Amino acid sequence: MENLSELVVQRFLSYVQIWTTSDRHIEETPSTNGQWELARLLLQELKDLGIADAELTDHCYVLAKLPASAGLESKPAIGFMAHLDTAQDVSGKDVMPILEKNKDGETIIRSDGNTLLGADDKAGIAEIMGAAEHLLAHPEIKHGPVMIIFTPDEETGKGLPFFPTERIEAMLSGGNDARRSLAACYTLDGGPMGELETECFNAIEAKVFFTGKVIHLGTARGELANAGLMAAAFAAMLPRTESPEATDGYYGYYCLTQISGSLESAELEVYIRDFDLNRANERAAALEVFARAVEAQFPGGRVRVECKHQYYNMKDKIDEHPEVLSNLEEAARLAGVEFTLKPIRGGTDGSRLTEMGIPTPNIFTGGRNFHSVNEWVMVSEMDAACRLVIELVQVWGK
């Protein structure tokens, strides 16, 4: 293969300059208009590559089908997926990417330190697009049916609302009555070179509402229940030893993500993450205990906890389909990539897609320091991820 980074880098540099920050407080999908701009650009680029079967859904999912090589139409259909949005933790507007050599002589792309870069997940998008361009330019590379899927609002934790399952099946069927489903999908949404991921957190979002008892402050003795202080007292009960900054590996955590309020009412949001579902549910139950403790401290005040599962650990369901991982590992060896299996201390759209019945491991993109102003990506590792995708479609086509 030629230097695939030539197919990836320029695309990536253009993608990161499109403001696609999502907003988890907005229920609509997509949650922000900027995601439409990138989606429309990608749709046009796919069509410019000569892919006739490409479309954009009403909820900003970009779909494209690479037809199978002659004689391989009946091989299992697989997909590659990446997300359009960037996280709202730091600004993703007016990104100024900088291409330079690091101290080891490796070419990297970083932000200018005022915004995130957007490698999460525009590196994944660029790598999939580069692989598609290479495959279309080299019809001698044999493969079965391949779907390309770009999704909105991954960073909000919504979990693929409006995922166009029926439309994908119709595209794969080619107009035949018998609908075809994806045998597997792979997200390109990971970190450093060689990291392959088949397990992730179980995720719970908890919203806690505080109702105070308000009276004139001059006559408040024994009467006032300050909702703002109730929220602060609740937050202080979250174990510091079970926070993101105090844990790694397989240890789960609580994370306070937002707090606001006044004397009369207050609200906070807590993310619960754990690889073990029972332990995650125990953490959610502990929030109810904290709530009752706060009510005891503030007579007349009330606390209500609402918990919602966002996504589940995908490991068990992927383990039911061993060929999905074994084919990925074979492709990594063919691509010359030394790989390691590690857990994702987070989640991907693959978590939800796996739950929906399509096993979806995660592949590295070469990015580092996601969701921060220090985000960067290594060009040689972007090349390797693109190369891995090209090898993987061939393995599935055997």
- Is 175 a residue whose pLDDT tops 80? no
Among 311, 346, 380, the domain boundary falls at 311
Domain residues for the domain of 338 are 5-199+313-397
- Between CA 398 and CA 385 the distance in angstroms is 20
Contact status, residue 265 vs residue 209, Cβ threshold 8 Å: yes
**CA separation for the pair 50, 134 (Å, rounded):** 12
- Residue 301 and residue 327 share a domain: no
Give the contacts of 150 (CB within 8 A, at least 6 positions apart).
39, 42, 61, 62, 81, 82, 83, 84, 125, 128
Same domain (yes/no): 230, 303: yes
Q: 111 and 42 share a domain?
A: yes
The total domain count for the chain is 2
166 and 46, same structural domain?
yes
Are 305 and 333 contained in the same domain? no
Strand order in the sheet with 62-66: 54-56, 62-66, 146-151, 78-83, 184-188, 362-363, 195-197, 340-341
Torsion angle defined by CA atoms of residues 171, 60, 86 and 11, in that order, rounded to the nearest 10 degrees: 60
Q: Name the phi and psi angles at 119, rounded to 5.
A: -60, -30
**Residues 271 and 203 sit within 8 Å (Cβ to Cβ):** yes
What is the number of alpha carbons within 13 Å of residue 222 lying toward its C-beta?
A: 0
- Residue 333 reports pLDDT greater than 80: yes
* pLDDT for 312: 95
Q: Are residues 330 and 294 in the same domain?
A: no
- Domain boundary among the residues 311, 346, 375 is at 311
Measured between alpha carbons, how far is 206 from 146 in angstroms, rounded to an integer?
38
- Residue 1, pLDDT > 70, answer no
Boundary of a domain, candidates 282, 311, 340: 311
The answer to whether residues 85 and 11 belong to one domain is yes
The continuous run of DSSP H or E covering 351 comes out as helix 349-355
Q: Are the beta carbons of 196 and 188 closer than 8 angstroms?
A: no
Spatial neighbors of 216 by CB under 8 A, at least 6 apart, are none
The one-letter code for the residue type at 111 is S
Q: In the Cβ-directed half-sphere of 76, how many Cα atoms lie within 13 Å?
A: 16
Q: Give the model confidence (pLDDT) of 145-163 as tens digits.
A: 999 999 999 999 888 999 9
pLDDT of residue 177: 65
Report the percentage of the chain scoring pLDDT > 70: 99
Which pLDDT score, from 0 to 100, does residue 101 have?
A: 97
Residue 87's CATH number? 3.40.630.10
pLDDT for position 276? 97
Measured CA to CA in angstroms, residue 11 lies from 26, 185, 297 at distances of 29, 23, 56
Return the percentage of the chain with pLDDT > 90, whole number: 96
pLDDT-based confidence at 179, cuts 50/70/90? confident
Catalytic residues: 85, 154
One domain for residues 113 and 219: no
- Rounded to whole angstroms, the Cα distance separating 385 from 120 reads 14
Tell me the CATH number at 284.
Answer: 3.30.70.360
Report the C-alpha gap between 176 and 296 in whole angstroms: 64
CA angle 51/57/60 to nearest 5° reads 105
Per-chain mean pLDDT for the chain: 96
Inter-residue contact 113 to 12 (CB < 8 Å) = no
| pLDDT tens string 221-255 | 999 999 999 999 999 999 999 999 999 999 999 99
Which of these, 166, 217, 164, 175, lies nearest to 58 by C-alpha position? 164
